[in-house]
Amino acid sequence: MKFILRLSVPLTAAAFFFTFLSCNIPIEPAQSSPSSPDNLRHRLNKVSVWEDFEAGSKTAYATGDVTFASGVWTLNDALVGTSSSDRKNGVKSVRVRNSGIVTMKFDRTDGASTVTIQHATFGSDGNSTWQLWYSTNSGSSWTQAGSTVTTSSTTLTTASFTVNVTGTIRFEIRKTDGSANRVNFDDFVINDDIPPAVFENFETGSKTSYAAADVTLGSGVWNLDDALLGTLSNDRKNGTKSARIRNSGKVTMKFDKANGAGTVTILHAKFGTDANTTWQLWYSTDSGSSWTQSGSTVTTSSTTLTSASFAVNVSGAIRFEIRKTDGTSNRVNFDDITIEDYSGGGGDGGNSEHLVLGNPTAAVHDTTFTANYYMEKPQYVMSYNSTISDPNWVAWHLDASWLGSTPRQNDFRADSSLPVSWYHVQASSFSGSGYDRGHMCPSADRTSSVENNSATFLMTNMLPQAPNNNRGPWANLESYLRSLVTGSGKELYIYSGGYGTLGTVDNGHVNVPAYTWKIAVVLDNGSNDLSRVTTSTRVIAVIMTNDNSQISLSADWKTFRVSVDSIESVTGYDFLSNVSTSIQSVIEARVDNQ
């Protein structure tokens, strides 16, 4: 997997965050807003940077085959560019001129949901246009994916295409303007996790007035109150219709969905030139007698349909309601509601001591979820990402019962509980890399028994960590958190992980995160912990650079403090999701200063 880093990492958390806002640091391409499923579900499922054009060589425009890392491609009026005028990540990219074509000469068998391609104008050339085409019959016939793209920037920009085709597929990039202007292509990315079918697209019903009334749509009967089905050019929609809501309108299911809901996504955008609006998603498990808000209030600020994602994770009968909350006359469009069936039970952490406050990515113990695979140990739980051989996050509860006098076991080893077909990181995998085997759940947090301490040395609990990070402020924060337990009568719920990339170790198998982050919710010792989280609860959150040259061994961990919201913003995860949203909104926005 080829990752991209475009950030000079600062030393303080505040400086980091404001720099981050103006930079592009994708752990995978085509990042979206924190509420987008691209940032949560799709990024955590099967994604691969599939071709970066680094392995092949071709210096002439004449038609010829080139063997790249993914397989053989034909380059027609195209070459592999290495000059300073070629826009590229790494040392090479494909350069196409005239009506050139770049074609896969082989099939991949596991389909494609979305495809992203980096593109830019070569040197000082003018704009170019191009298209992505695909074939499901080994090149006998071709279908265009998405619309024609115009390349107008000298900086590599991501073009994204929704394909949603299962089975055998190959792709072709076609330059369509026929001009001598040259265009570079790099980092061809295929997401092969086919999203679930849209539950409701608002195409089959009809309602032209705002007066409250029931409408029969494809999924069933919905009540639209101060809402209608919009068909105007100012209605933002996929297809010919979308729901349009004004004032404090609602769109409500009048029926139950029987098999629960995991993640729900909804497309939303501003109508016409109207101003921003806010809205919420609510659900009912008793056929509409009572309602619970899912996630946080969403602000609609774009005239382009954008995805909002909600981790619901409720089994059994369920129905949903969209509520516009600002009360203004500004109108908002909703389209393409997608509901994943609930797939939890005992395998999503619902009964784990360590996930009392929530499962940040709705991780599931199902090998289909190769990049969001739930793993549970008695000592900690995690979401594991087999595509980069890193944990997405590790979570553990820390109180006095976990602490004792057991010495450090140092028995680093591969985790045999991973699926056999997945790559298993070994104890020696980081050797010679310059990175420590950095514990997420620390060894010193599990000293009550040899078994508990030994469990922390599984390599699934490790990230490649810069020594100045791991042995300096990171270790000092770990010690401070333990001191709250041993000296102040506290118990903690802790989440930890990494984000971004500085490259890989272990022959490309293991991603090196650009940053490490940690969240600790601090409570007085007691019972019924979830109910004791209030707006005054202390929450400590940090983001630390993992670049050894950018962090000092003697740095104060307190200088890296940020809000939980800021970690959610860079990861796309939903922390503390079991806590009421009114409390979350307060404690997740606050930066600890104690």
Neighbouring residues of 509: CB distance < 8 A, sequence distance ≥ 6: 389, 423, 425, 429
The reply to whether 363 and 259 lie within a common domain is no
Buried b or exposed e, range 382-395, using 16+ CB within 10 angstroms: bbbbbbbbbbbbbb
Domain C-terminal end among 317, 339, 361:
339
pLDDT recorded at residue 64: 96
The reply to whether 110 and 222 lie within a common domain is no
pLDDT recorded at residue 348: 57
SS3 339: strand
The reply to whether 356 and 328 lie within a common domain is no
Among 75, 101, 96, 76, which Cα is nearest to 86's? Answer: 96
Strands of the sheet containing 390-398, edge to edge, are 373-376, 381-385, 390-398, 490-499, 515-524, 538-545
The reply to whether 251 and 377 lie within a common domain is no
Domain C-terminal end among 191, 222, 250:
191
The reply to whether 468 and 552 lie within a common domain is yes
pLDDT recorded at residue 67: 94
373 in Cβ contact with 422 (< 8 Å)? no
Among 36, 6, 9, 41, which Cα is nearest to 392's? Answer: 41
Question: pLDDT tens string for the chain (594 positions)?
Answer: 222 222 233 334 433 333 333 333 333 322 333 333 333 433 344 444 478 899 999 999 999 999 998 889 999 999 999 999 999 988 999 999 999 999 999 988 778 878 889 999 999 999 999 999 999 999 999 999 888 999 999 999 888 888 878 788 999 999 999 999 999 999 998 876 555 667 899 999 999 999 999 999 999 999 999 999 999 999 999 889 999 999 999 999 999 998 788 778 899 999 999 999 999 999 998 999 999 988 778 899 999 888 887 777 777 789 999 999 999 999 999 999 988 776 544 445 555 789 999 999 988 887 778 899 999 898 999 999 999 999 999 999 999 999 999 999 999 999 988 988 899 999 999 999 999 999 999 999 999 999 999 999 999 999 999 999 999 999 999 999 999 999 999 999 999 999 999 999 999 999 999 999 999 999 999 988 888 999 999 999 999 999 999 999 999 999 999 999 999 999 989 999 889 888 999 999 999 999
- Distance of alpha carbon 50 from the chain centroid: 18
Answer whether 0.85 is exceeded by the pTM. Answer: no
Beta carbons within 10 angstroms of residue 316's beta carbon: 12
The reply to whether 232 and 319 lie within a common domain is yes
201 in Cβ contact with 335 (< 8 Å)? yes
Check 42, 119, 354, 439 and give the catalytic one.
439
Residue 128, amino acid: S
Domain-embedded: residue 205: no
Domain-embedded: residue 32: no
CA–CA gap between residue 513 and residue 500 (Å, rounded): 5
Domain-embedded: residue 141: yes
pLDDT recorded at residue 266: 92
Domain-embedded: residue 76: yes
Residue 337 CB-half CA count within 13 A: 25
The reply to whether 218 and 127 lie within a common domain is no
Indicate if 424 belongs to the active site: no
Domain-embedded: residue 20: no
Among 116, 115, 131, which Cα is nearest to 174's? Answer: 131
The reply to whether 148 and 270 lie within a common domain is no
Residue listed under structure tokens 């079918």: 197
The reply to whether 295 and 440 lie within a common domain is no
The reply to whether 484 and 531 lie within a common domain is yes
Domain-embedded: residue 518: yes
| Count: domains in the chain | 3
Domain-embedded: residue 347: no
| 243: CATH | 2.60.120.260
Residue 191's DSSP bridge partners are 47, 114
CA–CA gap between residue 333 and residue 357 (Å, rounded): 33
SS3 421: coil
The reply to whether 223 and 187 lie within a common domain is no
The reply to whether 333 and 224 lie within a common domain is yes
pLDDT recorded at residue 193: 59
Q: What is the enclosing helix (H) or strand (E) of 569?
A: helix 564-571
Domain C-terminal end among 304, 339, 374:
339
**Which residue range(s) make up the domain with 384?**
352-587
Sign of the CA dihedral running 320, 303, 573, 538: negative
pLDDT recorded at residue 246: 98
| 484: CATH | 3.40.570.10
Strands annotated E in 370-415: 373-376, 381-385, 390-398
Domain-embedded: residue 38: no
